[in-house]
Chain A
Amino acid sequence: MGTIWFWIVAAMLTIYVVLDGFDLGVGIVYLFVARDEQDRRKAMHAIGPVWDGNEVWLIAGGGTLFFAFPLLYASSFSGFYLPLTIVLWLLIVRGLSIELRAHTHDSVYKTLFDATFSFSSLVLAVFFGAALANVIRGVPLGPDNYFFLPLWTDWRTGPNPGILDWYTVLGGVLAGLALALHGLLYLALKAAGVLNTRSTMLAKRLLPIVAVITLASVPATVIARPASLEHYQQHGIAWLAPAMVVVSLATIAISLARGWEWRAFLGSCTYLASMLVGAAAGLYPVVLPSVGTAGRSITIDEALAGPHAVRVGLVWWAFGILLAIGYTVTVYWLFRGKVPEHAEGYGH
Chain B
Amino acid sequence: MNRIDAKFKELKERNETAFIPFITAGDPNLSVTRSLILEFDKKGSDMIELGIPFSDPIADGPVIQSSYYRALSGGIKVSNILEIVKEIRRESEIPIVSMISYSILYKNGCENFIRNAVKAGFDGATIPDLPIEEAEDIIETAKKEDFKIICFVAPTTTNDRMELIVKRSQGFIYYISIVGITGARNDLSDDITKNIQNIKRKTNLPVALGFGISTPEQAGMAGKIADGVIVGSAIMREIEKFRNQDDNILVNRVGQFVGELVTSTKH
A, B: real partners: no
Q: Hey, which bits of chain A sit against chain B, CB under 8 A?
A: none
